[in-house]
Amino acid sequence: MPQSAKPSLALGEAIAPPSGVELPALFRTEAASRVLDVETLGRLERLHRKLEPIRRELLFCRTERQRHWDQGGLPAAPSDAEARAGRDSEWQIAPLPPDLLRRRVEITGPVDDAKMVLNMLSEGADGLMADAAMLDFEDSMRPTWANVLRGHENLLAAVEGTLEYRRPATTSRPAKTYRLDSSRTPTLMVRCRGLHLDEPHVLVDGQPLSAGLFDMALAFLRCGRTLVAQGRTPAFYVPKIESHQEAGWWSSLFRELEVMEGLPTGTLRATFLIETLPAAMQMEEILYRVRLHAAGLNVGRWDKIFSDIRVLMEHPDRVLGDRATLTMDRRWMHGYAQRLINVCHRRGAFAMGGMSALTPGQSGQKREAQRAGVLADKQSEAALGHDGCWVSHPYFIGTALAAFSDDHQLDRIPEAPPLDVLLPEGGGPYTLEGLRENVRVGIAYLEGWERGRGCVAWDDRMEDLATLEISRVQTLQWLRHAVTLQDGRTVDRSLVEEVFAKETESILDPLVATGASSHAIKRFRRAAATAVALYTETPPRPFLSLLEDGRVEIEPVSWGAVSRNIHLDHEERT
């Protein structure tokens, strides 16, 4: 029986799921009945019981390490025997399958949006196509239950070649249905959620599943055999890793899934995003732990900046300057990318570059400047030795492809800098414009979040959760250390609230002038009220934590007289 035809868990079904597994009544939806079946729930239960205690211990270790860093310590290379084996012994990852040997440009986007998935998997207007498409359950998707389930439906339809999107009719144009041309598509990859996140909509013994386990297991169990039958590799991205022990947890999950499906070791391949400062200090050890399933490592530049700030929040000598100045030219960022390429290529793995997060500007002049910037960025990555890169919009695929002339550069092994070069260096510039940019990102992103989006096009950039997190923790770090801006002003709560008030009005003024709906105006006001609470929270949370329905788990706050025009009373919020 085809996997997509497995008996489903019927809506309102009286027969209970496997012992200990619970789907609360609120989440037993029609979509859930299409995606989940009793057999799959049983497998999720077994995986949870085997791996969840280890995950909880790993998360506890994260907390303990952060406590050490908050007291003045610094991330360093691990010294245990397994780590030494990863650094000192001779080894290579398992040989890469043919369909993962050309990844010059990968395009990314939220898996829950069928239109965006179709765009990622199809030729652009210029006839060009990315080598790979990464369908994202993580930073670009708001993880509501409906979005998660829709994402898994879109993924299966993409694998089976049946994905379509129906554009609704308007007064000026008729409805139209777009369908996937399955005869020519990029290599398909899936990014699951990170180790630290829960999936609260499926419980085992009252405890939520790991969100990453849920995403990866469901994707592999529903699509893995179909992909193998098509001659394609089930390929994944794993985010937010912090240690080689965590890599071992993921490796165990990979093997458990292969055994469940009766597939050989190494059928599943994964690229790990090295996007945290702790992981940057042990990328070779991480790759060693997943060597039988590895496809490569990725320079996750935006989340890495977020991690740099979050990990070293309490270090007054490492307060970073404006987000816009934290480029790959900074010594520690350049060294991190150079070391990643060295490690990957010595061990036979791909070294993927970072994201170009631009969206096309409105004018031809703006777009030309953007293309030049993207080309320079990607040429720099190619010159350093990367095998490929990311873009967030199809418009820039051709520009990025022009920078990578070869299928890969596995034979290029740059010198690896010492680990202490990877530690971020404090220093400005600290400017009011930098604070304003952080504030605008927070308002824009959280307004999109309220509309069910996990990424928003804003000021000619695609902002996702990573860039929101940079903006949030940088503002908190500047507050924590009372940074003095170039204009002589000190960053304190009063200044942050003042900037929020002014930026909110600067966003709303053109909306009001063009007749935006009252609902749109209220969304931006609610987003601003929530963002200012997150940006001034004491103590700050390590990650943006979510309620079961995907709302930000924090109440908007009153800012006093300076913000009276944008603060919402209780009735308006409800």
Would you list the DSSP string of 297-333? EEE-HHHHHHHHHHHTTT-GGG-B--GGG--TTSHHH
Per-residue pLDDT of the chain (574 residues; tens, 9 = 90+): 344 444 444 444 433 567 789 887 777 888 998 999 999 999 999 999 999 999 999 999 999 999 999 999 999 999 999 899 999 999 999 999 999 999 999 999 999 999 999 999 999 888 999 999 999 999 999 999 999 999 999 999 999 999 999 989 888 899 999 999 999 999 999 999 999 999 999 999 999 999 999 999 999 999 999 999 999 999 999 999 999 999 999 999 999 999 999 999 999 999 999 999 999 999 999 999 999 999 999 999 999 999 999 999 999 999 999 999 999 999 999 999 999 999 999 999 999 999 988 888 888 999 999 999 999 999 999 999 999 999 999 999 999 999 999 999 999 999 999 999 999 999 999 999 999 999 999 999 999 998 988 888 888 888 889 999 999 999 999 999 999 999 999 999 999 999 999 999 999 999 999 999 999 999 999 999 999 999 999 888 888 754 434 444 554 544 343 333 333 333 333 2
Supply the angle between the helices 493-513 and 518-535 in degrees, to the nearest 10: 170
pLDDT at 16: 53
Give residue 545's pLDDT: 58
CA nearest 216: which of 176, 158, 256, 178? 256
Alpha helix (H) ranges present in 402-464?
432-450
Backbone φ and ψ of 269, nearest 5°:
-125, 145
**Which domains are assigned to the chain?**
39-168+177-301+349-422 (3.20.20.360), 432-573 (1.20.1220.12)
Which pair of structure tokens corresponds to residue 511?
């909306």
pLDDT at residue number 18: 77
Angular region, 266: left φ>0, alpha ψ -120 to 50, beta rest: left
Name the strand (E) or helix (H) holding 210. Answer: strand 207-210
Nearest to 422 by CA among 333, 350, 354: 333
- HSE toward the beta carbon, residue 347, CA cutoff 13 A: 32
Closest CA to 314 of 5, 127, 66: 66
Q: 3-class DSSP state for residue 549?
A: coil
* Beta bridge mates, 462: 457
Q: SS3 of 386, please?
A: coil
Task: List the catalytic residues.
Answer: 191, 464
* pLDDT attached to residue 15: 37
Determine the pLDDT at residue 358. Answer: 84
Residue at 332: amino acid letter: W
Residue for token pair 């953007």: 370
Q: Which long-range contacts (CB under 8 A, 24 or more apart) does 116-122 make?
A: 117/154, 117/158, 117/163, 118/163, 118/164, 118/165, 118/178, 118/180, 119/394, 120/186, 120/394, 121/158, 121/163, 121/180, 121/185, 121/186, 121/188, 122/180, 122/181, 122/185
What are the phi and psi torsion angles at 517 (to 5°)?
A: -70, 155
Give the list of residues 6+ apart from residue 253 with CB closer than 8 angstroms, or none.
47, 51, 213, 216, 217
**Cα first-last separation, the chain:** 48
